[in-house]
Structure 1
Amino acid sequence: MCGLLTTHQTPSRCNIGLKINRQSMIHINLSTSARVIRQGYWIVSPPNYKMSRVSSSFPAVPMLAASFSARQLRFVTVPLSALVLSFIFYCHESLLNTNATSIKFIPLTSSPKSSAKPLPVCTPATFQDDAEDLLPHTYRDDGILEVNPDGDHPIFELIELATARWKFKLSRASRTLDEAAREYVRRYNKRPPKGFDKWWRYVEKHNVQLPDEYDQINRDLEPFWGYHPLDLQQLRDKQELHTDTFTLGKNATSEISVLRVSFAHSTNNWKPEALLGGARSIMDILKDVQHELPPFRAVISPHDSPTLFSDYEVKKIALDAADRGAYMDMENIVPGERLGWLSGCSPSSPARQTKQTDSRSKKKAFIFDHRKAMDPCLHPQLLDNIGEFLIHPNPNPSKLMLPRFAYCATNMHHDIQIPTLSGWVDDILPRSDDPDWEGKVDERLSWRGSNTGMWHAPTTRWKSAQRARLVDFANGLNGTLKVLIPPKDGKRVGQGVEIPRSKFSPAMTDISFAGEPVGCHKETCPVLLLDYEWKKRQGAKERGNFKYIIDVDGNAWSSRFKRLITSNSLIFKATVYPEWLSSNFPFVTPLTSPRFLDRIEPWVHYVPVQVDYSDVYDALVFFRGGLYGEGAHPNLARKIASDGRDWSRTFWRREDVTAYVYR
């Protein structure tokens, strides 16, 4: 927030390639460390070949191998992955004067520029599997892993890769101010803002973990480096007068306070006092560091949902200007074609290129990159099944990128995200309400909540919104389901087993609306009452009995996620809101991409699931087993639940929120 007007240089997005002997270019498209290890391939291929993430026909060179069973190999894969990553990173940092290898950056529009030092060719030995000849799964460029029926169960692999990434990230975190400043320059190609040393003192004093992982801030602010400071200030001044905003700020000597309020009377039935709850939360977050902050004014939306829909063409102009170290010509900005939500997508994106859902989505699939899985430009079906998009079916984007803060944003919005303490808890108290894993007696997947998400009326498509679909999904009894039952050691996962819904769903889920209908037209409220069972709300003690809980979006981001992940339950999360904690999978390479990930790791701290819920039962059965417990992996479930709770209490403290907003 304070660094917004510090400088106007910004990194360009890039891919990474290796240049062998300064002649032949090889694009590195690593499958991931564990995939490389398990399949026994060289990390780098001969010149003039492109290594494919999914191709088994690529002429990669097999390495020295030893014989391990699938499960034995699994025990060495994760630590070996971390070792390999550390070894390569060591090469990356220390073997810098080689004449044989250099890094060449290929500008793209998907990831920011890295000023990483040259990465030598490092080819560690690996092991081959002597079990069934299992084939690789497909890692798509939209963040989805397509299941190969002739492969192992993919969740093993997803957990292994995520664990290796997380360990590697922890191992390379900056330990000193000098290291943090160098890492800042490496990631963003500009010097840290004034006051960075004071921020670092706060980080050190409060033992804030992962002090480099704030790429979300750069993602949010990057377009604004393309504005001249005076133009940006004028836009901010106009935003202060915008209905339904409040302005926080301070001068050189004052404390932070609410400087301006612009609310319509009883906006959406909310009273001004309630709308200022977020202001009080932000002031509370910054109270211990406000004396260190320079004068500022920040315009903030008081609502849960984002409001600034981005025009792809305008955003591209801003990013291009920032990339050149130049400023946009405000008088000659040409907006893109008015296409409703599609105006926020690149002309080459799947959303703009296809008129219906890609048939690939019908295959068994899991998320490996949660941020990409949230992107409607990559997954246009999201526009038809999330209330955020359904309630505004044909919106016009903002004519400019506007400097306004909000509590969340989708990939279609450019609201600058600022966390609050809404829903924040330090722990589940009393602890007796949250038994340990063995003390949780109910193995069904649980959810209880209201029908928020959008306005329910005869003229809206509320039945397609995320919460109504979740309840319908879990309580439908007609037809059959095809579910992946985890195979025996070293066997193929197969196509799935057909099971009657009437037998499966009631045994596997306890999912229902609670209370009574809200947010509904007078004609639709009775329909909701009639069509759905409305159970009583869960208390903390009742909720604590469930081993598995799913978290889904409401009107916007889910404020209950902090409370849920602090428990001893395993959390499944379906969302389109990246939030300030979100992660980003390094599709190019996990070693040099500055957009490695931020502050949480899916498959280590929680289970990411698609918002169409097509993978929910497959993931649930992997952990808790089938109807009779067959194929269960309770130890893995317990570990992710435990690691999620530990993460929450170590990486999502009040001090961690302060460090984010302060920076």
Structure 2
Amino acid sequence: MIRLSQLFRSSALGAIHKPGRGQLVPAFIVFAAGTGFAGHHGTDTTPKKPWNRPPSNHPIDELISEARLEFNTLMGKRSLTLEQAALRYRERRGRHPPPGFDKWFAAAVEQDAVIVEEFFDRIHHDINPFWGLAPHEIRRRAHGQAFMVLVRNGKARPAQDDKETHFRQQQWLELVQKIAPNLPDLDMFINHMDESRVMVPWDKLSEHVAAEQKSRRLLPPGQAITKYSGVADVDDAPRHDPVWLHGETHKFWDHVRDACPPDSPGRKVSALPTFNVSIEFPMAPMPEYTYKGYVKNFTASQDPCLQPHLRGMHGTFIEAISMSTTEQLMPLFGECKLPQNNEMLIPSAMYLAEGTRKEYSGGGARGGPWRNKKDGVMWRGGASGARNKADHWWHNHRHRFVQMLNGTTLSAVEAGDEDAGPTFRLLPAESEFYPFTARKEGTLGAWVATWADVEFAAMFCDPPDTGPDGKPLKTCKHTDAFMKVSAGVPFERMYDWKYLPDVDGNSFSGRYRAFLQSTSLPLKSTIYQEWHDTRLMPWVHFVPFDNSYLDIYGIMEYFFNHHDEEAERIALEGQAWANAVLRKEDMLLYTWRLLLEYARVMDDNRDRLAYVEDLMR
């Protein structure tokens, strides 16, 4: 298998000249566009389906084409020297890089990392609000919290009063230990929960962001300093205790709403007073982020503020498993968050522990050739995402996902029995969206049954149903009439299928990186953000779909109907890209750079701390 890093090493510039175009094109793009993949020659593996081929100007064709052009442009910005990296940092951030930037870049070059400044937008989105807090206040808020990683004198350790190291904390501790010799002293307060925890109301956060923008300045190089002050002044300080909100899981939307922009649709609606009502299912795609029914802006598609219907259609807003949220800006690190949350994102502990947590990856193998895979969709998982209760289970997103990909349920709804599918609604036959034959003719259920293998492996009832022996059952009495529980599928067997959808659980899905590194095609729907989002391009490395799941049928109809090669291309290009930019080396480099920024923003001399050596030569 050809790896993307090898392709970049094939040229000193990381790009090759494409004849007749007069421009540099990243080697990866030319490789992907100019060569065929295994499975494209010989036997025709295109699925034969009982409907007419869609028009050649299918919206997904346009989305793929535009995404490739955008990715091509982005890759043209790759920094290959320290001087380029520092220049592009200053152009994009409006200030000098932090001290230690040169050592970080040298390590990136040594690890053959792909450095594009836009890949690190996530860091600055997360850090910038803290420029609106006094440095001492940031240090004070971080000190003495539970689940801490401390860096002192080039060494990382857990806080002394931590009686045991949580799994997530241990993974991040080991990561920071590898880079600690290159870090100033600092305190990392780490979120060990599934749910994100810091959510500052919009008005207050806007003040912090405005303060950061006002502080941007490229000070004269002669005024810069490189020595960090450290955090010793708070070592003996009492722990800061913000107000943590608990027990409002069923009203969580109201806190999200307060973090939405004033003119957004989500700001205008409150949490549902009760969930013992029918769902409010959108009967058309959201124009804010879709193009002719399909996701065009993946970042916007993650935003609940643009989708007020999600207050009754995603488990996060129904009744999450736990809640411990503060509206005060706390320097908390976590592995995922809603767009409205304010944690600083670091790579998931599940990704870091891939070698020991095979339930999230399946081990080292990532599937065989595309042509040998089953031509369909595979998903197994638990009914997580919210408490699975008899009075609101039909509002949970995973229940909806399973029902919408169950042929029997779809056929019953098509026949007029809406009660068979309380989690969703079907578009009327006359709808202008997704105009393929199976939907128009009312044979959607029969068609989906031919390619979807999507079932729960456990229901997680709340409270648990028990059998005659008193032991908890995998099934739930309140959902037995709507869905069955199937045997689990070993993770590595999922790679036998071409299409692997990935949806949220209690928060993000720990499977995503493994899916990206596989020879199957990831289909991704989420409202949660992760560290790697700015280095992945939808329609180039994965296929996005809406959190209503309204578009999933149109997506599958496109790929099944004479677009198998497009699916394979995205799958294999995504795999090559993931193996180049989602490596553990990349996670380490991302965390290293994040912690340099974090150490600077909480330093009393933060306005003068800067790397400027490249300007002094």
In the TM superposition, residue 362 of structure 1 has moved relative to its aligned partner by 7.4
1:524-579, Cα deviation, whole Å (9 max, x unpaired): 94324554211111124532221111011111111111111211111101111121
The equivalent residue for 2:142 is: 236
The equivalent residue for 2:259 is: 344
Give matches, 1:315-326, under 5 Å. Answer: 315-325=205-215
The equivalent residue for 1:447 is: 379
The AA in structure 1 aligned to 2:81 is T
The equivalent residue for 2:11 is: none
The equivalent residue for 1:607 is: 543
Corresponding position: 1:649 with 2:541 = no
Task: Tell me: higher relative CO, structure 1 or 2? Use CA pairs within 8 A at least 6 residues apart.
Answer: 2
The equivalent residue for 2:502 is: 551
Secondary structure (helix, strand or coil) at the match of 1:527 reads coil
Separation in 2 of the partners of 1:533 and 1:287? 46
CA 556–606 in structure 1, closer or farther in 2 if over 3 Å, else same: same
CA 150–205 in structure 1, closer or farther in 2 if over 3 Å, else same: closer
Separation in 2 of the partners of 1:419 and 1:290? 17
Contact 1:417/1:579, CA 8 A, preserved across alignment: yes
Query: Equivalent of 1:496, from 401, 426, 436?
Result: 436
Query: Equivalent of 1:507, from 446, 450, 461?
Result: 450
Give matches, 1:625-644, under 5 Å. Answer: 625=561, 632-644=562-574
CA 80–323 in structure 1, closer or farther in 2 if over 3 Å, else same: farther
Give matches, 1:400-411, under 5 Å. Answer: 400-411=328-339
The equivalent residue for 2:370 is: 437
TM-score (norm: length of structure 2): 0.69
Separation in 2 of the partners of 1:82 and 1:371? 32
Separation in 1 of the partners of 2:481 and 2:156? 49
Separation in 2 of the partners of 1:443 and 1:247? 46
The AA in structure 2 aligned to 1:256 is A
CA 542–150 in structure 1, closer or farther in 2 if over 3 Å, else same: closer
The AA in structure 2 aligned to 1:361 is P
Contact 1:311/1:398, CA 8 A, preserved across alignment: no
The equivalent residue for 2:459 is: 517
Contact 2:455/2:485, CA 8 A, preserved across alignment: yes
Give matches, 1:119-138, under 5 Å. Answer: none
The equivalent residue for 2:169 is: 279
Give matches, 1:384-463, under 5 Å. Answer: 384-391=312-319, 398-423=326-351, 425=354, 431=365, 434-440=367-373, 442-459=374-391, 461-463=392-394
The equivalent residue for 1:361 is: 285
The AA in structure 1 aligned to 2:567 is A
Secondary structure (helix, strand or coil) at the match of 1:288 reads helix
CA 82–247 in structure 1, closer or farther in 2 if over 3 Å, else same: farther
The equivalent residue for 1:374 is: 302
Quick check: which one's helix share is greater? 2
Separation in 1 of the partners of 2:141 and 2:172? 22
1:602-641, Cα deviation, whole Å (9 max, x unpaired): 100110000111111111111122xxxxxx2111111011
Contact 2:86/2:97, CA 8 A, preserved across alignment: yes
Contact 1:220/1:417, CA 8 A, preserved across alignment: yes
Contact 2:195/2:322, CA 8 A, preserved across alignment: no
Number of residues paired by the alignment?
A: 465
Runs of at least 5 residues in structure 2 that lack an aligned partner in the other structure: 1-17, 26-53, 217-252, 271-279, 356-360, 415-425, 466-474, 594-617
Query: Equivalent of 2:477, from 514, 526, 537?
Result: 526
Give matches, 1:144-293, under 5 Å. Answer: 152-212=57-117, 213-237=119-143, 240-241=144-145, 245-253=146-154, 255-259=155-159, 276-293=166-183
Secondary structure (helix, strand or coil) at the match of 2:505 reads coil
Separation in 2 of the partners of 1:160 and 1:621? 18
Separation in 2 of the partners of 1:455 and 1:445? 26
Contact 2:195/2:323, CA 8 A, preserved across alignment: no
Secondary structure (helix, strand or coil) at the match of 2:478 reads helix
Query: Equivalent of 1:471, from 402, 425, 449?
Result: 402
CA 393–84 in structure 1, closer or farther in 2 if over 3 Å, else same: farther
Give matches, 1:547-626, under 5 Å. Answer: 547-582=498-533, 598-625=534-561
Separation in 2 of the partners of 1:408 and 1:660? 15
Secondary structure (helix, strand or coil) at the match of 1:223 reads helix
In the TM superposition, residue 289 of structure 1 has moved relative to its aligned partner by 2.0
In the TM superposition, residue 83 of structure 1 has moved relative to its aligned partner by 7.3
Larger displacement relative to structure 2 (418-427 or 168-177):
418-427
Contact 2:79/2:85, CA 8 A, preserved across alignment: yes
Secondary structure (helix, strand or coil) at the match of 1:512 reads strand
The AA in structure 2 aligned to 1:620 is M
In the TM superposition, residue 359 of structure 1 has moved relative to its aligned partner by 6.4
In the TM superposition, residue 161 of structure 1 has moved relative to its aligned partner by 0.8
The AA in structure 2 aligned to 1:437 is W
Secondary structure (helix, strand or coil) at the match of 2:558 reads helix
The AA in structure 2 aligned to 1:555 is N
The AA in structure 1 aligned to 2:285 is S
CA 446–215 in structure 1, closer or farther in 2 if over 3 Å, else same: same
Secondary structure (helix, strand or coil) at the match of 1:447 reads strand
CA 620–260 in structure 1, closer or farther in 2 if over 3 Å, else same: farther
Contact 1:483/1:496, CA 8 A, preserved across alignment: no
**Cα RMSD after superposing both structures:** 3.3
Separation in 1 of the partners of 2:497 and 2:578? 19
Corresponding position: 1:304 with 2:194 = yes
Separation in 2 of the partners of 1:374 and 1:81? 40
Quick check: which one's strand share is greater? 1
1:431-484, Cα deviation, whole Å (9 max, x unpaired): 4x72100111x212111111111112245x332122111111111222446799
Contact 2:126/2:343, CA 8 A, preserved across alignment: yes
Contact 2:80/2:115, CA 8 A, preserved across alignment: no
CA 482–507 in structure 1, closer or farther in 2 if over 3 Å, else same: farther
Contact 1:340/1:395, CA 8 A, preserved across alignment: no
Separation in 2 of the partners of 1:359 and 1:403? 40
Contact 1:574/1:610, CA 8 A, preserved across alignment: yes
Separation in 1 of the partners of 2:501 and 2:255? 31
Separation in 2 of the partners of 1:208 and 1:247? 29
Separation in 2 of the partners of 1:458 and 1:536? 23
In the TM superposition, residue 305 of structure 1 has moved relative to its aligned partner by 1.9
Contact 1:170/1:210, CA 8 A, preserved across alignment: no
In the TM superposition, residue 382 of structure 1 has moved relative to its aligned partner by 2.2
Contact 1:203/1:211, CA 8 A, preserved across alignment: no
In the TM superposition, residue 262 of structure 1 has moved relative to its aligned partner by 6.6
TM-score (norm: length of structure 1): 0.65
Contact 1:314/1:399, CA 8 A, preserved across alignment: no
